[in-house]
Structure 1
Amino acid sequence: MNISFTLSPSAQDIETIYAGLGEFNRKFTPEIDDEAFGLFVRDHSGNVLGGLTGFIYVTTLQIRFLWLSEDLRAKGIGSELMNLVELECKKRNIPNIAVDTYTFQAPKFYESHGFQEIGRYRDYQVKGVDKIFYHKSLG
């Protein structure tokens, strides 16, 4: 047996670990068939000015990215995106929304939309910056 630390591992090696973990997990959870989604704010020419993307899992919608161009911020568009995500969850009977953010990004925004902090990495990537994990139950 040989154990080695590898920078920039091959996609095949990563897939081997991912597949092995998936096989183990299937003993305890249903096979998770994630479905990507996106809400996009576009100008009249179809250019993306912002939006929200993520994945839908069995009981959870995971927000991956939320970004709005500088011109669109503080105009209620982020709140509109969050409302649309919640409506989609209700239509699909998805009881949970999860998201993570950094202390310099949008923690107050998510808290104002009813998200509860459930975890935190302190000094994540940079000293003085925390990564915060949030959850919102719709049930």
Structure 2
Amino acid sequence: MSVDANAKARAAGALYRYNVAATAVDDRIAIGAQLCDAAGNVLGGLWGRTELGLLFLDMFFVPGHLRGKSYGTRLLALVEAEARRRGCSRAVVETSSFQAPRFYARHDYEEFGRVEFGIGGHARIFLRKHLE
């Protein structure tokens, strides 16, 4: 079974319009911070969106050779600060057990859900944080 990217985009638009009609709030805005080298090449970053008073973290990547040097902490702090300026009071992220749950826990995110994978004892982990 293949996925039609255009159909998915149309459905996402229809779902967003439904959400706006149900809440009377049309405030979805992309958010992010990028990690670039001296030449301006994007090496990694943190991307997501703010919507309905929530910060949704969608993708976070710092290359292996830059991990452990506070780049991730700085990216997260920048995005959270912007989300607060936008009126967000909470943040939500999902990660895998082999990715970054300890990183998020160090930054005051708390686990609120877990779904085990069918392989290797790993799980998808859902975390949240109060931004206020």
* TM-score, structure 2 as length reference: 0.84
Distance of aligned partners of 1:80 and 1:129 in 2 relative to their CA distance in 1, 3 Å threshold: same
Shift of 1:90: 2.1
Please say if 1:136 is aligned against 2:129.
Answer: yes
Tell me the SS of whatever aligns to 2:87. Answer: coil
* Greater mean alpha carbon deviation, residues 25-34 or residues 90-99: 25-34
Name the larger-Rg structure.
1
- Aligned position for 2:42: 48
Question: What are the equivalent positions in structure 2 for 1:1-139 lying under 5 Å apart?
Answer: 7-11=1-5, 13-14=7-8, 17-18=11-12, 21-22=15-16, 25-26=19-20, 28-123=22-117, 126-139=119-132
Amino acid at match of 1:134: L
Moved more, 49-58 or 104-113: 49-58
Q: Give distance in 1, aligned partners of 2:81 and 2:2.
A: 40
On the 8 A contact 2:50/2:83 being kept in 1, the answer is no
**CA distance change for structure 1 residues 136 and 35 in 2, over 3 Å: closer, same or farther?**
same
User: Higher helix fraction: Structure 1 or Structure 2?
Assistant: 2
Identical residues among aligned pairs (%): 34
* Higher RCO (CA 8 Å, separation ≥ 6 residues): 2
- CA shift in 2, pair 1:91/1:122, >3 Å: same
**1:16 CA drift (Å):** 6.2
Letter of the 2:107 counterpart: H
